[in-house]
A and B are shown apart, each in its own frame.
Chain A
Amino acid sequence: EVQLVESGGGLVQPGGSLRLSCAASGFTFSSYEMNWVRQAPGKGLEWVSYISSSGRTIYYADSVKGRFTISRDNAKNSLYLQMNSLRAEDTAVYYCARDKGAAGYWGQGALVTVSS
C-alpha cells in the first residue's frame, strides 16, 4: 500500500525556518517525481515545488522561490522541504504528492503556522 507521511510542521515566528519531511513507503520511491502542494486555511490548492525522480530537475512556484528548497534522499525514501524566511502567508497545510501531475497519492498533510 502506498503511504506518504508528512512531519515537521508546527508554529514558527515570521522570518523563521522549518523543515518538512515526507516518508514514502509501498512503492519504489526513487522512480517517482514528487511535489509539495499547500492549502491555506479555507483556501484552494497551491502548487509549491517539484522534484524529479533523480533530484536533478527542480521547480518552484514564484511565491516561494529563493526561500524554499526541495530535496530528496532516495536511499531513505524521503522527500524534504526546507522553508526559510517564513511569512504569515506561508501558513497552510503542506501536502507531499506523488507524480508530476495527476497525483494519485497524497499524504495527510502537515500544518505550518507562521505567527508571532
Chain B
Amino acid sequence: EIVLTQSPGTLSLSPGERATLSCRASQSVSSSYLAWYQQKPGQAPRLLIYGASSRATGIPDRFSGSGSGTDFTLTISRLEPEDFAVYYCQQYGSSLTFGPGTKVDIK
C-alpha cells in the first residue's frame, strides 16, 4: 500500500500570500495518478487537481499542482478568503489512499 505524507500539518498564512503544500509518497505513484482535494467544514471534498498538474473543471488558475514520482506540490499563488480549508492529496495509481491533510488557516 502506498502511504502518503503531507506537510506541514497546519499552514498559517494571510490572504494574498502564497501557499505551498507538500505530499510525499512511500513509493512512486504510477503515471502521476495524484489528485488534490479541498474540504471545508460540513462539506464533501472538492476536486482541485488530477494527474498531478491538471486543474479540474471550474478551478481557478491560482491553484496549481506539480511533481512526479514520490514528491508532489500544491501551490495556491495568492490566498483568497475562501481558500482557507483542509487540503488532501490522494493517489489512485495503486488502489487508493489519501494523505492526512494540511490545514490552511488564517494567520
Interface residues of A (CB under 8 A from B): 35, 37, 44-47, 50, 59, 62, 95, 100-104, 106-109
Contacts and interface: CB of A to CB of B under 8 A. Distances in A.
Given A44-B88, A44-B100, A102 B47 contact: yes
Contacts, number: 56
Interface in B52-107: 56-57, 86, 88, 90-93, 95-101
Which among B35, B50, B92 has the greatest number of chain A C-beta atoms within 10 A? Answer: B92
B45 interface: yes
Interface of B: 1, 33, 35, 37, 39, 44-45, 47, 50-51, 56-57, 86, 88, 90-93, 95-101
A51 to B, nearest CB: 12
A109 B44 contact: yes
Contacts of B39: 45
27 contacts: A35-B96, A44-B88, A44-B98, A44-B100, A45-B45, A45-B90, A47-B96, A47-B97, A47-B98, A50-B95, A59-B95, A95-B44, A100-B96, A101-B35, A101-B91, A102-B33, A102-B35, A102-B50, A102-B92, A103-B35, A103-B45, A103-B47, A104-B47, A104-B56, A106-B44, A106-B45, A107-B44
